[in-house]
């Protein structure tokens, strides 16, 4: 009876060994290090099958080690990321059946870069002709400064540019609704 039991046990062990030998899966393992060869724990490592586009990801342990097991044979892209480090990528690595492929990752320091985004629209400049065009409202024209380099700097010439000035039939200036012949004198706060 013991002989039969030993024979059955030996057959089971041999079937288990032959089953392992018949596996068609492989593994990808590695260690994440920085440029000084110090391990980088907590790095995010991702592989993508180039045949079926499936993605698997893991996190490096406290020794910087990672592994992907039970992978179909084929080509895989590997990428790794860690805070403060530049991204690492291998576009293609071939894994065969029953192979343990080692891919060690070396992360460089991330360079500082600054992006400035301008969201204002640029003023279109017509470079085809020398015409300058613009429009202003009455209130904007009234706020324009006077050009004191003009030939005349007379106050009457300045009044002629104001939007509230009106002219009578002889070309006389009238302000604020008064007639051109109106005169007003103020002495000590009294109007005469």
Q: Are 96 and 73 in contact (CB under 8 A)?
A: yes
From 107, 129, 164, give the residue that closes a domain.
107
- Whether residue 82 is contained in a domain is answered as yes
| CATH number of the domain enclosing 90 | 2.60.40.10
Q: Are 175 and 159 in contact (CB under 8 A)?
A: yes
CA 152 to chain centre: 57
Strand-strand pairing, 105-107 and 26-34: parallel
Examine the domain organization and report whether 100 and 143 are in the same domain: no
- Whether residue 38 is contained in a domain is answered as yes
The pLDDT of residue 50 is 94
- Whether residue 121 is contained in a domain is answered as no
**C-alpha Rg value of the chain to the nearest Å:** 44
The pLDDT of residue 85 is 92
The pLDDT of residue 133 is 65
Full domain range(s) for residue 168:
138-191
Residue % of the chain over a pLDDT of 70:
53
Distances (CA, A) of 24 to 75, 99, 121: 14, 9, 60
- Whether residue 112 is contained in a domain is answered as no
Higher pLDDT, 100 or 182: 100
Total tally of structural domains belonging to the chain: 2
Q: Band the pLDDT of 139: cuts 50, 70, 90.
A: confident
- Whether residue 185 is contained in a domain is answered as yes
Strand residue runs (E) in 35-182: 44-49, 55-59, 65-71, 74-81, 88-95, 100-102, 105-107, 166-167, 173-174
Q: Band the pLDDT of 187: cuts 50, 70, 90.
A: low
From 91, 107, 123, give the residue that closes a domain.
107
- Residue 2 confidence (pLDDT) above 80: no
- Count Cβ atoms below 10 Å from residue 65 Cβ, excluding itself: 16
The pLDDT of residue 166 is 72
- Whether residue 2 is contained in a domain is answered as no
From 107, 122, 150, give the residue that closes a domain.
107
- Residue 28 confidence (pLDDT) above 70: yes
143-182 pLDDT tens trace: 776 655 454 556 666 666 666 667 777 767 776 666 656 6
The pLDDT of residue 114 is 59
- Whether residue 149 is contained in a domain is answered as yes
Higher pLDDT, 79 or 143: 79
Q: Are 168 and 180 in contact (CB under 8 A)?
A: yes
């Amino acid at each position: 009876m013991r002989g039969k039991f030993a024979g059955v046990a030996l057959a089971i062990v041999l079937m288990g060994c032959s089953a392992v030998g018949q596996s068609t899966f492989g593994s990808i393992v590695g260690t994440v290090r920085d440029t000084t060869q110090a391990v980088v724990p907590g790095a995010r490592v991702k592989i993508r099958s180039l045949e079926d586009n499936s993605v698997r990801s893991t996190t490096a342990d406290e020794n910087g080690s990672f592994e992907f097991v039970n992978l179909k044979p084929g080509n895989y892209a590997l990428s790794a990321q860690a805070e403060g480090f530049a991204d690492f990528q291998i576009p293609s690595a071939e894994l065969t059946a029953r192979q343990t492929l080692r891919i060690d990752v070396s992360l460089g320091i991330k360079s500082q870069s600054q992006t400035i985004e301008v969201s204002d629209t640029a003023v279109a400049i017509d470079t085809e002709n020398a015409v300058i065009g613009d429009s202003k409202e009455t209130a904007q024209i009234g706020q324009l400064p006077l050009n004191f380099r003009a030939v005349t700097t007379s106050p009457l010439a300045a009044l002629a540019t104001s939007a509230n000035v009106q002219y009578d039939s002889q070309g006389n200036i009238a302000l604020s609704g008064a007639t051109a012949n109106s005169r007003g004198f103020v002495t000590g706060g009294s109007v005469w």
